[in-house]
Structures are given as C-alpha cells and as structure tokens.
Amino acid sequence: MLRYLLKRILIFIPTLFVISLLVFGLNRLAPGDPIQTCLPITDDPNLERTEAAYARVAHQYGYDLPVFYFSFTAAAYPDTLHRILNRDERETVTKLTGQFGNWPLVQDYYREVRQINRQIYYLPDSLDRNGIIDFRRISELLRVLYQPDRIDFQFKTLEDVLNRFPDLNQHLADDLQRLSGSFTLLKRGKRTDLLYRPAFYWHGRQNQYHRWASRFVRGDFGTSCLSGRKVADLLRVPLYWTGIMNILALVITFVVSIFLGTRMAVRRNGWFDRLSGLLLFIFYSLPTFWIGTMLIIFFTTPEYGMKWFASVGLGNLPTGAPFWDRFWEAANHLILPVFCLTYGGLAFVSRQMRGGMLDVLQRDYIRTARAKGLDERKVVWKHAFRNAVFPMITMVALILPAVIAGSVIIEMIFSIPGMGRNLFEAIIRKDWNVVYTIVMLAAILTMIGNLVADMLYVLADPRVTFANRSRQ
C-alpha cells in the first residue's frame, strides 16, 4: 500500500513538471508586456524616473532573468537578450536580427534609435512644439519597426519634418544622419550564415522558471501584479466561495443520483425509470451557461414578475452582520449557481448508479436474500445498495475536473468572486502569478482526486489489489 502510494506520488512529479512548463510557457506566448501590467499607472513626464521604475518592477518580478535553464538558438542571437527588459524593444531587436543576423550592427542601430528618442526629451523649450510632436511620433514608431522598407520610409518622413522646422533641424540633423547611417550599415552587413549556426547557452539556476517553480514548491505563490497583494491572500476568499459551491454541488449531485439511480434500477423499465432517464438525458445536454442566463433573466429580475431569487453577486451585507443574516443572504445567492453546477452531473452519476445497481440485483446472493423471504426494501437497501454504491467513489474523481471547469462559467454568469472568475480576469489582464497558481492548483487537485479515488477503491474492495489496479 505504502509502496503503491509512493510510486503514484513519484509519477506526479514529471506530470506536474510538464504542466508547469506548459503553464509557464503561456506567459511567453501571450502578447503584451508583462512588466507594463505590473507598473503603477502614472503620467510622470520624467523619462529617467519612468525607466527606473520599469527596471525596478522588472527586477522585483524576475523579468530581468533568463527565461529557462538553457536556450538553444542561432549564434546570431546573444545569450544576454533577456537583459533588454522592454518586450517591444526585445521583439523588435530579435526580428531585426532574424533578418540580418548581425547582432553588433543591430545593437548599434537600435542604440541610435534610443538615442534619438532620448534626445527629443532634452531639447530646449524654445523650439516649435508641433515639430517636436511630429518628430517624436515617428521616432517612437521606429522603436517597434523592423521591416526595412518601412524604416526607410520613416527616415524620409523624419527628414521632411526637419525640413519643415529648420530650428529643429539644427538639433537633430546629426542624430538622424547617424541613425540612417547605422541602418545602411546594418543592411550592408548581413551575416545570415550566423542564423544557421546553432548555439547552446546555459543560464544556470538564475532563471525565471526556476525562481517561480522553486518558490511555488515552497508554498510562495508570488505577488499579484494588479493588486500588489500576495496571491495566497488574494485567493483565500475566492477559494472559500468556490469550495463551498463545488462541495455543495458534489454532495447534492451524489446524494440525489444515488437515490435516483437506485430507484430507477429497482423498477427497471417502469414509468419512473423511463421518465427520469429521458429527463436526465435532456439535463445532460442543457448547456449550463444557457440555463444560468435564463434563470437570471426570468427569476432574478422583476421584468417578468418572477423575482424569486436574489440577483447575481453575493449580496453586500457587511462582515459584521449577524451570522444567520449572512447565511441566508449567501444561501439566497447561491441556490441558482449551485443548481446549475448540479444538474449536469446528475445524468452522468445516476446512470452509473443505475447500471451498478442493475448488475448487483442480478447476483445470486440477492436471489438468496429474496428466497429466504426478506422484505424487498431490505434486499435493495441493505444488501444490494452497499455493493452498488462503492464504485461510485471513483466517479468523484472523474467528475471533479468537470466541476472545477464548470464553475468558471457559472461564476462568470452569476458574478461570484470565486476562483474561476479570478482566473478568467487574471488571464485577460495578464496577471501571471494568479494564472499560474490557479491552474497549478486545479491540476494538483485533479491528480489528488484521482489518487484518492484509486486508493478508496482498493480499500473498499479487497479483491482489487494495487498491482492489478495500477496496470489499468
């Protein structure tokens, strides 16, 4: 038993590793600058202060580290690419290198781009504002341009601007000259051969993944970028609500289905069996988000004269309110969402129960029990029920991921501040530490659910051994 448990837990490790890579990779795939999301919104005109704040935030969240333990790229790219913090800049430089292959010249050109952008900030105030604005708009555009023809075109536009504003020309002509010169050099100095030479860089343990993963293992989930709070604190309340909803839904699903399934099996093919079979089938196909929306529209608004339930959200009683008030308030708000989470699983679980019960009712020992004149109720509930109910244990594990995922949409519809809603918002707003934490927790929970179900299964049925269970 212990050995089996250990083996299963050991198997968890590679699975979790792959999942963590996948989740972590999402950050890389997502567009947008993750550092920008973490920055407090300011309109500080001071360039140096803004850049310093940017670097500080990048350092705080570890974005100034290499992404992974190693990188395998072309020799044209340097191993220090991660030091360019700004994502737009990094991508532009990478794309330039992808075309020309000559990193030093790309660096030279990009330094000039930065230089000219910086130059604009320190121009004397006596100059024509319009000229500066025109010039800056284009030179800022150059920071993200990487198509040679477009860059050349923007150089021409910049020259036009300078021709129109002679006093600006005095200050910026040389810079523009150097800039376009460096780009011409870059175009001449193509080193596409370097793009074909593989390079392997080892970054060691000082990398973003290691930093995040090692902290995660130690239970430190990091800080949420948007709210500045610890993720663990941030998710405490959502976890509570999602937990309450899902546990309630699971318990109701199982209690109802077990009794329903048993009754259906006992009167097999009777009217009750057929009717509930049909109803359950319909329930199974009813999309929860549809039913949820319909329930909200018809039963929580006075529009159609059937305002029987509280509207979406969780109500706004203060935390100091008496317990029972808060309890009824929460209950009133939770009835509809829990119903939505419950009905879909009913069909699935009660059908399994019906099947299991039918199987048991055909066994010899049931016939014996009946033959010795036992009351039918006793036969069903005392002899058959116990044996039919235990395979249902594994169903908990099967249904758990569906419930976790299902509560995302339900929480969105009913505006319940749970894990699902938090996840959705974190994904949309790129609050990566929150995304990582919730997805990893969902994965771990699913795997533990599977494991527990397997263990219970073996404990409940002595005929099943760990050896033949693990081979399935």
Partner 1 sequence: MSETATNTAKNTDQSYWQQVRRRYRKSRLAVLAMRFLAVLIFVAVFADFLANEKPIYCKIDGESYFPIFREYAVDLGLAGWPPALRDNQWNDTTRCSVKILALIPYSANTPDYANTYKGPFAEQKVKSRRYRHWLGTGNLGIDVAAGMIRGTRVALLVGIISMGIATLIGLFLGALAGFFGDNGFKISRIRLWLNLLGLPFAVFYAFVPRWYYLLEGAQLGWEWLRALGTFALIMALLNALAYVLRSWEPLSRKVTIPLDLLIMRLIETRNAIPGLILLLAFLAIIQKPSILNVMLIIGLISWTGIARFVRGELLRIRQLEYIEAMRALGLSNWRILVRHALPNALTPVLITISFGIAGAVLAEAGLSFLSIGLPPEEISWGKLLAGSRSNISAWWLATFPGFGIFITVTVFNLIGETLSEALNPRATE
Site residues for partner 1 per CB under 8 A: 11, 14-15, 18-19, 22-23, 26, 29-31, 72-74, 95, 98-99, 147, 192, 195-196, 198, 281-282, 284-287, 289-291, 293-294, 296-298, 301, 303-304, 401-402, 404-406, 408-409, 412-413, 423-424, 427-428, 435, 438-439, 442-443, 446-447
Side-chain-side CA neighbours of residue 46 (13 Å): 4
Nearer to partner 1, 328 or 466 (CB): 466
Nearer to partner 1, 132 or 349 (CB): 349
What are 186's two structure tokens?
A: 């870059």
Q: If residue 63 lies in a helix (H) or strand (E), which one and from where to where?
A: none
Nearer to partner 1, 416 or 443 (CB): 443
Nearer to partner 1, 15 or 177 (CB): 15
The 8-class DSSP code of residue 40 comes to P
Nearer to partner 1, 131 or 406 (CB): 406
Least Å distance, CB 49 to partner 1, is 31
Closest CA to 164 of 188, 143, 134, 186: 134
Nearer to partner 1, 22 or 52 (CB): 22
Least Å distance, CB 300 to partner 1, is 9
Reduced to 3 states (helix: H, G, I; strand: E, B; else coil), residue 99 is helix
Nearer to partner 1, 257 or 407 (CB): 407
CB count within 10 Å of CB 443 equals 20
Distance CA 197, CA 406 (A): 48
232, 434 Cβ separation under 8 angstroms? no
Least Å distance, CB 72 to partner 1, is 6
Least Å distance, CB 397 to partner 1, is 11
Least Å distance, CB 343 to partner 1, is 13
- Reported in sequence order, the residue ranges of 322-373 that DSSP labels E, i.e. its strands, are none
Nearer to partner 1, 291 or 357 (CB): 291
Least Å distance, CB 204 to partner 1, is 20
Strands 198-202 and 70-74: antiparallel
Provide the b/e sequence for 280-290 (b: ≥16 CB within 10 Å). beebeeeebee
Least Å distance, CB 166 to partner 1, is 38
Distance CA 63, CA 207 (A): 9
Least Å distance, CB 375 to partner 1, is 29
**End-to-end CA separation in angstroms for the chain:** 17
- Which residues lie across from 230 on neighbouring strands? 223
Closest CA to 173 of 107, 108, 104, 123: 123
